[in-house]
Amino acid sequence: MAEKSNILIVDDEEVVRLSHLRTLAAAHCKAEAAWNGTEALHAMEQHPFDVILLDLRMPDLDGMTVLKTIKERWPESEVVIITGYPSIETAKEAVRLGAYNYLAKPVSPDEIVEVANGALMQKKWALRSDRNGPDSGDRFKYRFPWEH
């Protein structure tokens, strides 16, 4: 990744957290880890992360509750759900709540880097269009000569 991205890994399985931390460090990302939803929200309060890789099934707060809270309080952060228990219902709910992507475990190191990079690019585009105003997308739209 061209610039250091700030990524939070939230998973109750230590082996998953360590694996993602190693993968993202090798890709020159700044990554931190939280083992549950409460710890993740506390980390977000300290300094919001650009991208959150979020497990669904965890002790205390489940991933959907954490996703909803993050999108309400830090809407500019992109969240990727990574679950060992995928279902159509949870995928739909995650997208409805604003998740950038939804992946089923196991996830390869290449997939982690790819999804983190894609989420970061999404955030940059969203922030760019916010700065340019709601009509900024119009400059990319084709206009017929008679539409002036």
Q: Where are the domains of the chain?
A: 6-133
Q: What is the pLDDT of residue 146?
A: 46
Q: What is the pLDDT of residue 4?
A: 66
pTM: 0.84
Could you tell me the pLDDT band of residue 125, with boundaries at 50, 70 and 90?
confident
- Compute the distance between CA of residue 11 and CA of residue 57 in angstroms, rounded to an integer: 8
Q: Is 144 helix (H, G, I), strand (E, B) or coil?
A: coil
Would you identify the CATH topology of the domain 6-133? Rossmann fold (3.40.50)
